Amino acid sequence: MSANSAGGEAGNYASRFVKLAWLSLAQLVRRPSHSRRAEAARRAARHVLWLAAGLGVAIIVLMFMLDAWGIGLMPTRGSPSLWWVRILTDLAKEKYVLWTLAGLLLAIAFVAPALRGSSRSLLLGLGTRLQFLFLAVGISNLVTDVLKWGVGRGRPFVGGEANAFNFSHFAWDRAYYSFPSGHATTAFALAFAVSALWPKARMVMAVYALIIAATRLVLLSHHPSDVVAGALVGIICAMFVRYWFAARRLGFAIQRDGSIVSLAGPSAARFKRVARGASAP
């Protein structure tokens, strides 16, 4: 192969890469086009209202009646026997989840420009769904970080006692970043987002989110109300991102009653066929 042809192929790949990257970002901010987006917005608003009201009451009840009692039942912080709980809780660490999703998106961004036809469409469809997961988790955690800073609630036993009303608003101190729980936000946002794309995974993701929530209590990282608040933020923000994608016909469809359903996406069988085709001589 000559240097000129090699350089030409590299130039073509680079131009395709830039074009695909630009289009993948542009599709996220284009004007919404779905004719039923108003119905979906009204339906989502009703669900958010009921969810916020129900879990909001639960948060208040927990803060006044159960938080101090509940954390008093937990093992001593830093107990060596809890090593496995510390491993489990990291499965919902924000940076681990986001870096994993970002790595998958980058892999698709580098591979897709070299493909053609259905193979590229398959990868781009997966990329759109990974964008949804990334934004559902990322935006949820941005909201949680702002709330943590503003509320400034002390973590369990900060100050030496089980005080559920130990606050230092707008403090730049992680000891006062208890409300809401960031791990719970990540777990429930991811659980909702994955279930929205692949409904058959709903039960598995619900168990995952509940396990993460329990680890935050056992490790004395949060009060029970912090975990419920994190779940509330994660679910509501993920619902908003789902509506954003559906209104732009990205990965979701809006039915006549305003409900949002996932579109048929890349299947494991199709990925196997593409992989076999890519590896064939």
What are the tens digits of pLDDT across the range 97-145? Answer: 999 999 999 888 888 777 676 777 788 888 899 999 999 999 999 999 9
Percent of the chain past pLDDT 70, that is, above it, reads: 88
- Over residues 176-193, the pLDDT tens digits come to 999 999 999 999 999 999
pLDDT of residue 280: 46
- CA–CA separation, 88 vs 211, rounded Å? 8
- E strand or H helix at 21: helix 3-29
pLDDT of residue 281: 40
Partners of 167 in beta bridges: 153
- E strand or H helix at 252: strand 252-254
- CA–CA separation, 91 vs 186, rounded Å? 10
Q: Tokens for 132, please give them.
A: 């949804």
Angle between helices 94-111 and 182-197 (to 10 degrees): 40
Partners of 254 in beta bridges: 260
pLDDT of residue 257: 92
pLDDT of residue 268: 54
More confident residue, 3 or 201: 201
- Over residues 29-71, the pLDDT tens digits come to 889 888 889 999 999 999 999 999 999 999 999 999 999 999 9
- CA–CA separation, 211 vs 20, rounded Å? 38
- CA–CA separation, 255 vs 63, rounded Å? 39
- CA–CA separation, 135 vs 145, rounded Å? 15
pTM: 0.89
Instruction: Count Cα neighbours of 44 within 13 Å in the Cβ-side half-sphere.
Output: 22
pLDDT of residue 279: 46
Q: Could you tell me the pLDDT band of residue 11, with boundaries at 50, 70 and 90? A: low
pLDDT of residue 35: 87
Domain ranges of the chain: 45-279
